[in-house]
Amino acid sequence: MEISSVDAIPLRRELDASFANAQKWIDAREYCLVRLETTDGITGWGECWGPVAGNRELVESRIGPWLVGRDLANRQAVIDELRFRLQSAYHSYVPVSALSGVEIAMWDAYGRSVGATVGELLGGRRRETVPAYATGHFFSDVDEFETLRDNIVEEATGHVSAGFTALKQKIGLERHFGWDHTADLALVTAVRAAVGDDVDLMVDANHAYDLPTAKAVAAGLDDLDVTFFEEPVPPQVRYYKQLAADVSVPIATGECFAFEQSFDALLDAGALDYAQPDVTSVGGIEMTHRIARQARAANVPCYPHVFGSAVALAASLQVLSAIPGEPRLEFDRTPNPLREELAEPTIENEGAMVPVPDGPGLGIDIEPETIERFRLDA
Ligand SMILES: [Mg+2]
Mapping DSSP onto H, E and C, the string for 42-92 reads CEEEEEECCCHHHHHHHHHHHHHHHHCCCEHHHHHHHHHHHHHHHHHHHCC
Q: Tell whether 375 is covered by a domain.
A: no
Q: Give yes or no: 176 in active site.
A: no
Domain-located, residue 9: yes
Instruction: Tell me if the pTM is above 0.85.
Output: yes
Is 340 a domain residue? yes
Q: Does one domain contain both 51 and 178?
A: no
Contacts of 24-32 with CB under 8 Å at 24 or more apart are 25/141, 25/176, 26/138, 29/309, 29/336, 29/338, 30/376, 31/308, 31/309, 31/311, 31/338, 32/8, 32/56, 32/59, 32/97, 32/98, 32/101
At residue 378, the pLDDT reads 73
Closest C-alpha among 368, 311, 307 to residue 133: 307
Tell me if 306 is assigned to some domain.
Answer: yes
Question: pLDDT under 70 in the chain at which residues?
Answer: none
Q: What is the tally of structural domains in the chain?
A: 2
- Centre of ligand 1 to C-alpha 204, Å, is 6
Q: Does 261 share its domain with 195?
A: yes
Tell me: do 278 and 336 sit in the same domain.
Answer: yes
Question: In this structure, are 111 and 129 located in the same domain?
Answer: no
- Statement to judge: residues 163 and 54 lie in one domain: no
Q: How far is the CA of 102 from the centre of ligand 1 (A)?
A: 23
Q: Is residue 110 part of a domain?
A: yes
Output DSSP code: residue 318. H
- The answer to whether residue 203 is domain-embedded is yes
- Which CATH number characterizes residue 289's domain? 3.20.20.120
- For residue 288, the model assigns a pLDDT of 98
Collapsed DSSP state (helix, strand, coil) of residue 267: helix
**Dist. CA 378 → ligand 1 center (Å):** 32
Q: What is the pLDDT of residue 377?
A: 85
Domain extent for 73: 3-120
Q: How far is the CA of 271 from the centre of ligand 1 (A)?
A: 16
Last residue of a domain, one of 99, 120, 141: 120
Same domain for 180 and 283, yes or no, is yes
Q: How far is the CA of 276 from the centre of ligand 1 (A)?
A: 8
Residues 274 and 186 in one domain: yes
- Domain edge (last residue) among 64, 98, 120: 120
Kindly state whether residues 244 and 108 are assigned to the same domain: no
Strands 25-38 and 43-48, sheet pairing: antiparallel
List the catalytic residue out of 137, 181, 207, 305.
Answer: 305
User: 120, 145, 168 — which closes off a domain?
Assistant: 120
| Spacing, Cα 19 to ligand 1 middle (Å) | 15
Q: Are residues 91 and 115 in the same domain?
A: yes
On whether both 86 and 183 belong to a single domain, the answer is no
- Same domain for 195 and 72, yes or no, is no
CATH code of 20's domain: 3.30.390.10
Same-domain pairing of 213 and 159? yes
Q: Is residue 187 situated within a structural domain?
A: yes
Asked if residue 373 belongs to a domain, the reply is no
Give the pLDDT confidence score for residue 324 in this predicted structure: 94
Four-residue CA torsion sign, 200, 204, 205, 207: positive
Residue 248: what pLDDT? 96
Is the Cα dihedral 59, 60, 65, 68 positive or negative? positive
How many angstroms separate the alpha carbon of residue 207 from the centre of ligand 1? Answer: 8
